[in-house]
Structure 1
Amino acid sequence: AGQVDLDAPVADNLAAVARGKGIRIEELTVVILDRPRNAAKIAAVREAGARVRLITDGDVAPALMAALPESGIDVVMGIGGTPEGVITACAMRGLGGEVQGRLAPQSAGERARIEAAGMDLARRLTLDDLVTGEDHFFAATGITQGNILRGVRYTRHGAVTHSLVTRSRSGTWRMVESHHRWETLMQISAVPYRPG
């Protein structure tokens, strides 16, 4: 954390991350949402020499991976969704990562709502802006198979889930495997669970 500057050139930020990790820029993998609005960022990352991994959706998971050791993802760049940015910022509080962003409306309607709320489009937003307070929790549970979390697995006796849980106050993160028994789920849920 503290290595990058949203207003610096892409190559400078990649050099700072590479220095912080003790690797060459060519060894970095940068995830970017594959959208026309990110074309210049994609080109700048490639020109700097880092590897680019394009994704079609789901920008929270790669951001989590960038903060986890040995994930194969080093940086996430580009314009994504605001709700996803706030969710990611909450997780980064516990993972020790960094988030910087700026509102980037994609339509006249979005721009009007931002301006009506009195928000400054030029302002750089940091973790402190996106997630205030002293103690933050984040939890994500895999539904389908992913790069971080396994999907729900059904057994004869219930279901097995995998979750990532973070807490900012303690700076901890945990990978949790939970076993849910059908008999207990049927007693506490309004949803009728049927084994098998």
Structure 2
Amino acid sequence: MYMGQGGAPEGVLAAAALRCVGGQFNGRLVFRNEDEKARARKWGIEDLNRIYKLEDLAKGDCIFAATGVTSGSLLDGVKRMRGGKMTTESVVMRASSGTVRWIRGEHHTD
């Protein structure tokens, strides 16, 4: 289960990732003030209370990729190693095949 709060771009990213792993998504826009509601109407959003489903935000074959910058619950952040190396951890997922790839990268900083 994934739960979170963020802006519309974060909702699209979450929906794409969930589509890749067979998850579900229900989300709605949360407005902090009347200016944000007016801006949404200007963008063509008529139903400000609409519940968006996974298919509304992530149609077709989605590919999701992320690399940890700081450590979190899904990915480790960038780590400095001996000898001028740095390591990163990434995940790449594809909805149509269900493929999930975990990548540990070693980067030389010299």
Q: TM over 0.5, yes or no?
A: yes
Alignment CA distance shift 1:136-1:112 (3 Å): same
Structure 1 residue runs of 5 or longer lacking an equivalent are: 1-65, 67-74, 183-194
Q: Is 1:93 paired with 2:19?
A: yes
Alignment CA distance shift 1:80-1:157 (3 Å): closer
Could you tell me how far apart the structure 2 residues matched to 1:166 and 1:142 are?
A: 15
**Number of residue pairs matched?**
108
Normalising by structure 1, we get a TM-score of 0.50
1:130 to 44, 50, 57: 57
CA-to-aligned-CA distance 1:162-193 (integer Å, 9 cap, x gap): 012111111122221111233xxxxxxxxxxx
Asked whether the 8 Å contact 1:93–1:171 carries over to 2, the reply is no
Could you tell me how far apart the structure 2 residues matched to 1:149 and 1:102 are?
A: 26
Give secondary structure in 1 for the equivalent of 2:96. coil
Q: Is 1:165 paired with 2:100?
A: no
Normalising by structure 2, we get a TM-score of 0.84
> What's 2:9 paired with?
83
Q: Which has the higher helix share?
A: 1
> What's 1:21 paired with?
none
Q: What is the correspondence of 1:47-196 to structure 2 with a 5 Å cutoff?
A: 66=1, 75-76=2-3, 79-119=5-45, 120-132=47-59, 134-155=60-81, 156-182=83-109, 195=110
Q: Which has the higher strand share?
A: 2
Could you tell me how far apart the structure 2 residues matched to 1:172 and 1:107 are?
A: 41
CA-to-aligned-CA distance 1:43-95 (integer Å, 9 cap, x gap): xxxxxxxxxxxxxxxxxxxxxxx3xxxxxxxx526x53322111101111112
**Superposed displacement of residue 157, structure 1:** 4.5
Larger radius of gyration: 1
More contact order relative to length (CA 8 Å, sep ≥ 6): 2
